[in-house]
Structure 1
Amino acid sequence: MAHLLGGESLTVQFATRTVLDGVTLGLEEGDRIGIVGRNGDGKSTLMRLLAQRQSPDEGRVTLRGNVQVGYLDQTDVLDGDLTVGEAIVGDAADHEWASNPKVREVMGGLVGEVDWHANVHSLSGGQKRRVALAKLLIGDDDVIMLDEPTNHLDVEGVAWLARHLKTRWRANEGAFVVVTHDRWFLDEVCTRTWEVHDGIVDPFDGGYAAYVLARAERDRSASVMESKRVQLVKKELAWLRRGAPARTAKPKFRIEAANELISDVPEPRDSVSLSKMATARLGKDVLDLEDVTLSYATADDGAKPLLDNITLRLAPGERLGLVGVNGSGKTTLLKLLNGQVQPSKGTLKRGKTVQTAVLTQEVDELDDVLDMRVVEVIEREKRSFAVGGKDMTAGQLVEQLGFTKDKQWTRVSELSGGERRRLQLLRLLVGEPNVLMLDEPTNDLDTDTLAAVEDVLDGWPGTLVVVSHDRYLLERVTDRQMALLGDGKIRDLPGGVDQYLQLREAALSGKPASSGPAAAAGGTGGTQPKTGPSEAEKREARKGLGRIERQLGKLTAQEEKLNTQMEANVGNHELLTGLNRKLQGLATDREALEEEWMRASDTLA
């Protein structure tokens, strides 16, 4: 592979702190690299150096003669007075760019629903991000560097960008480097990972899942298994190994070492135990929205429903994830559940012992404590806190979410955006709510902090509702997903985020929404209008659902038995290989059954 660019002995210092200390690395054609690390450890600094947008204190960056580098800044750098069209293609005439299929693909994928003639300053944060991405991606750069490209993008935007990057070049052509906290995105598009920490850069083969496995193996070899950081890595590893086994196929090191490493790690959540605890605290009734409609005024003095006759019942200990298009009412739905907004029609029933807390997308809720120190903010609320069956002091809880002993005495006004986000969540938790609602909780958090937040949520016994475009987080901390599709309705997603994307793709292509998953699974359709399933078809679908659910229950029991056997036979390589092969076969059977379940469910929808 041909060399594209490289950094030699790169050193950067801020005041008395060394961010990068003599780092040497290179970028070759075909490289697909994700950069991870804690906030403030130098991820964006490294990218700016390689893009020659910042000069190192020592060392140098060299580029092959004619290499062109495109760069997406983390902040908004667009000229707000330009129209969307001018910001993307400049003065080029329509026929100049419209004749290029690559440009048309980028335009359709990113800005197809954005007003071409609107001024940039009038756009939302997500729309500005799409315009900036489109401006970059229509170019012919040899190397693309993306600093937090998924910020402000919804689930569809993230999925589209992943598809584009995977197909933009042939396997051994071009290269990109991406800094992001979106772990699904890292797994989907990256074949190598650079971890920036303590002034150095450690390279790993594979995306995020492979990086977690390799880092755990590295730490095990270094005899640091008992450190707090490794315990979080082990827990993350256990989830990756058991919850998404296909992701661990990329690493090249011995799978038996990974099995040995997690043999003593419990499941991430004890759902039965959590449910019992939550029921004791909450009772049987939590929050129920019944036949709720919420309308907003239109320009012609009319009213349009944002939420149209929806019913949603939250059970004790339920962990619900919400996805949806921008403007579909996700944040409004949280406000309805919290009693901040009253419906135009319908009712909200609230259990007598329910105590809610909402993590909003803003951090101005900390404005009243800017002069206080981190630990003082928590101690003012409560001095001890029960999490995961253990009593913790405020200082211990603060430390668990990444505030070192020194950092605990930092004033809130001096914290970074990610640190404020952590403190915002902690402040809610110490109030001991039994219903916690999180609105885009991953904003400004690095991957290590996200793992720490998830660790806290794993041991939290109440009802959880999460709105997020981060599909890794949704799959990690919630057990059920629902979608708001922009039509005022809310819909269950037994197939998770993948089913949501199928539904959206079907809606945008003009197909009936109910045919999305079925079509994706190989269904066909004629030109005649669909009149709906017959009663006989519905009866067969109901029977099918019962049969499939029984089969899924048996599969779950078989998977649990195999996992137990694998944990009990660490070191028996031959047996582990056979057991793992059986587990993969069950995973294939499960996928087929779930697709069949979705088709039957759509018949009854």
Structure 2
Amino acid sequence: MAHLLGAEALHLEVPARIIFDSVTIGVAEGDRIGIVGRNGDGKSSLLMMLAGRRDPDSGQVTSRGGTRIGVLEQSDAFPEGETVGHAIVGETPEHEWAGVPRVREVIAGLVTDLPWDGLIADLSGGQQRRVALARLLAGEWDILALDEPTNHLDVEAIAWLADHLKRRWPANQGALLVVTHDRWFLDEVCNTTWEVHDRIVEPFEGGYAAYILQRVERDRQAAVVEQKRQNLARKELAWLRRGAPARTSKPKFRIDAANELIADVPEIRDRVSLQSMAVARLGKEVVNLLDASVSFGDPETGAEREVLHEVEWRLAPGERTGILGRNGAGKSTLLGLIDGTLEPTSGTVKRGKTVQVAMLTQRIDELEEHWNDPVRVVIDGLRTSFTVGSGSKAQDLTPGQMLERMGFTNAQLSTQVKDLSGGQQRRLQLLLILLGQPNVLILDEPTNDLDTDMLAALEDLLDSWPGTLIVVSHDRYFLERVTDQQYAILHRRLRHLPGGVDEYLRLRAAERAAGERAGSAPAASGGSSAAPASAASAAGSAAPALAGAERRTAEKELQSIERRLAKIETEVAAVHARMAAHDQSDYAGLGAIGEELSALEAEAAEREERWLELSELLE
């Protein structure tokens, strides 16, 4: 493959520390490179040096003549008074940019819900990120250098971005360099992984899962003393290999080698013991939402807007659930009902007598009272021990040991809270919450500012936490890793997702397609006027809502479909269990079971589509 970009003998220093020492690395046509490593080890600095945005202290970066490099930085900067449309296409006339398929695809995929002539300053952080991506991706580049491109994006936007990058260049053309902590994205897009550590850049073949295997093998062969880090990586590999077939089939490594490495690694979570402890701490009743609806008044018009409609959900002791939904769908409202900060407009919320709910929010309010205190002083005032694990594996850890487990060094214990990095503050915030010993834990975007190693450490800690866990996160990997089931908020209702995130994306795609067939723009939050008709469907009138007997018939059919989908979920789980227990050499028998599974999945997909059609009619 042709050479595009190279770095030779790069050296970079910051006060009191050397970041890189004589690093030599190259980028060729067809490379899709994910850059991983601990926060502060130099991932973004390396990306910016390769992209020509930062000069090394010594060494040089060279590129093939005429190579065009597009850069996305972590912060999205726009001129004052900039509008959405001008930021993306500039002064180019519509008849010109609308004739470029790439530009039309980018606009349709990222900004159709945004006001084309609206001010960027009026947009949310996630919306501004999408505009910045659209501005970059609308251009023609030989190399894309992306620094945390998934920050502030929801699951749908991340899935679209991954698909776009996979199709953007023909095979063995173009190159991608991406710094991200989103491990699903790394596995989906990258064919090479660079680990930045200890002043060097170490390349690995394959995406994140393949990198984890090779790192474990490297550590084992070299007898590396970093036992804790190795154990976390091996545990994560075990989950990757035992996870969904779509994931386990992607990495380019030998399955036999992977199975040998994880042969002595136990299941990720001891679910029976954790469930037993959760029942002992919580009793049989946790939080029950019974036909709970929530409406808010519009401050301008005074009209009521319903956010959640007749939600029925009974949280079980030890339940580990992920919540999905587009921005504005009502996820925060649902969490407010669970933690008691919000009361339903109608319906009821019942809580068990022993329930203690704690929430890790996207803010850092819990740290404000400790802002000027060293970390050591903060933990000295906490409880003396914290129990992790269950049964014979249970162990008591001091706050100091908990901090060490979450990546704090002895030197950082003397640092004031206000001087910690964002990721360190986030970890300390979680520690304060956990040491309060809640039995219902809500995590709202817990992965912000955490690198891949710290995410693995957090996942390991949550594996041994005995309580009911609710997670809202756009990090698909983390969500699937720490929860056992997922729900989505669709059409103001809470919908179980037997197929997980993939099913949610299918439902949202079907919802958008149904909206386009009805002549309306795809459902999404945004401004009053969206992108031009050349890049999005023209608006029209939606299908009329049902009334009277027709409405009652449709509601009954909807309830019947929901009952059947729940039954299909049980049947699919039983088929998976039969498949796992079946003689793996009996190919004919396995084939018959596989056909049975395919039939159930096809029926579920058909009924889900009908569920969406009925939901639209009942709006």
Mapped to 2, the partners of 1:585 and 1:69 lie a distance apart of 51
Mapped to 1, the partners of 2:273 and 2:586 lie a distance apart of 28
Q: Who is 1:518 aligned against?
A: none
Q: Deviations over 1:273-317 (max 9, x none)?
A: 111110000001111111222112223211111112212211100
Q: Deviations over 1:305-346 (max 9, x none)?
A: 111221221110001100101111111211221111222222
What does residue range 241-252 of structure 1 map to in structure 2 within 5 Å? Answer: 241-252=241-252
Mapped to 1, the partners of 2:282 and 2:446 lie a distance apart of 24
Q: Secondary structure at the match of 2:381?
A: helix
Mapped to 2, the partners of 1:387 and 1:538 lie a distance apart of 41
Check 1:583–1:411 CA distance in 2 against 1; reply closer, same or farther (3 A cut). Answer: farther
Q: Percent identity?
A: 55
Q: Who is 2:145 aligned against?
A: 145
Contact 1:494 1:598 in 2 (8 A): no
Q: Who is 2:85 aligned against?
A: 85
Mapped to 2, the partners of 1:327 and 1:6 lie a distance apart of 44
Q: Who is 1:166 aligned against?
A: 166
1:368 and 2:358 matched: no
Q: Who is 1:59 aligned against?
A: 59
Q: Who is 2:290 aligned against?
A: 290
User: What amino acid does structure 2 have at the position aligned with 1:455?
Assistant: D
What does residue range 470-481 of structure 1 map to in structure 2 within 5 Å? Answer: 470-481=475-486
Identify which range, 588-597 or 79-88, moves more after superposition.
588-597
User: What amino acid does structure 2 have at the position aligned with 1:502?
Assistant: R
Q: Deviations over 1:504-553 (max 9, x none)?
A: 1111112699xxxxxxxxxxxxx9x9987899999899789758735632
Mapped to 2, the partners of 1:586 and 1:136 lie a distance apart of 47
Check 1:424–1:142 CA distance in 2 against 1; reply closer, same or farther (3 A cut). Answer: same
Aligned residues between the structures:
577
Q: Who is 1:344 aligned against?
A: 345
What does residue range 414-453 of structure 1 map to in structure 2 within 5 Å? Answer: 414-453=419-458
1:549 to 539, 556, 570: 570
What does residue range 270-419 of structure 1 map to in structure 2 within 5 Å? Answer: 270-298=270-298, 299-388=300-389, 389-419=394-424
Q: Deviations over 1:55-96 (max 9, x none)?
A: 001111111110010000101212242111111111222212
Mapped to 1, the partners of 2:109 and 2:280 lie a distance apart of 48
Check 1:275–1:561 CA distance in 2 against 1; reply closer, same or farther (3 A cut). Answer: farther
Q: Deviations over 1:401-453 (max 9, x none)?
A: 11122223322122111111111111111111000000011111111100000
- Displacement of 1:580 after TM fit? 12
Mapped to 1, the partners of 2:555 and 2:494 lie a distance apart of 24
Q: Secondary structure at the match of 2:442?
A: strand
- Displacement of 1:378 after TM fit? 2.9
- Displacement of 1:379 after TM fit? 3.3
Mapped to 1, the partners of 2:161 and 2:407 lie a distance apart of 31
1:559 and 2:560 matched: no
- Structure 2: runs of 5 or more not aligned: 518-542, 615-619
- Displacement of 1:476 after TM fit? 0.5
Contact 2:382 2:399 in 1 (8 A): no
Superposed CA RMSD: 2.9
- Displacement of 1:220 after TM fit? 1.0
Mapped to 2, the partners of 1:254 and 1:603 lie a distance apart of 42
Mapped to 1, the partners of 2:68 and 2:110 lie a distance apart of 23
Contact 2:498 2:569 in 1 (8 A): no
Check 1:195–1:551 CA distance in 2 against 1; reply closer, same or farther (3 A cut). Answer: closer
What does residue range 98-137 of structure 1 map to in structure 2 within 5 Å? Answer: 98-137=98-137
Contact 1:533 1:603 in 2 (8 A): no
Q: Who is 1:182 aligned against?
A: 182
Mapped to 1, the partners of 2:558 and 2:358 lie a distance apart of 44
Q: Who is 1:522 aligned against?
A: none
Q: Secondary structure at the match of 1:74?
A: coil
Mapped to 1, the partners of 2:437 and 2:184 lie a distance apart of 30
- Displacement of 1:253 after TM fit? 4.7
Contact 1:288 1:313 in 2 (8 A): yes
Q: Who is 2:524 aligned against?
A: none
Contact 2:278 2:467 in 1 (8 A): yes
User: What amino acid does structure 2 have at the position aligned with 1:555?
Assistant: H
Contact 1:7 1:50 in 2 (8 A): yes
- Displacement of 1:104 after TM fit? 0.7
Q: Who is 1:572 aligned against?
A: none
- Displacement of 1:600 after TM fit? 5.4
1:489 to 487, 493, 512: 493
- Displacement of 1:109 after TM fit? 0.4
Check 1:124–1:591 CA distance in 2 against 1; reply closer, same or farther (3 A cut). Answer: farther
Q: Who is 1:72 aligned against?
A: 72
Check 1:399–1:163 CA distance in 2 against 1; reply closer, same or farther (3 A cut). Answer: same
Q: Who is 1:517 aligned against?
A: none
Contact 2:210 2:253 in 1 (8 A): no
Q: Who is 2:521 aligned against?
A: none
User: What amino acid does structure 1 have at the position aligned with 2:399?
Assistant: A
Q: Who is 2:509 aligned against?
A: 505
Q: What TM-score do the two structures reach when normalised by structure 2?
A: 0.87
Mapped to 2, the partners of 1:272 and 1:434 lie a distance apart of 17
Q: What TM-score do the two structures reach when normalised by structure 1?
A: 0.89
Q: Secondary structure at the match of 1:367?
A: helix
- Structure 1: runs of 5 or more not aligned: 514-526, 566-577
- Displacement of 1:384 after TM fit? 0.7
Mapped to 2, the partners of 1:586 and 1:390 lie a distance apart of 42
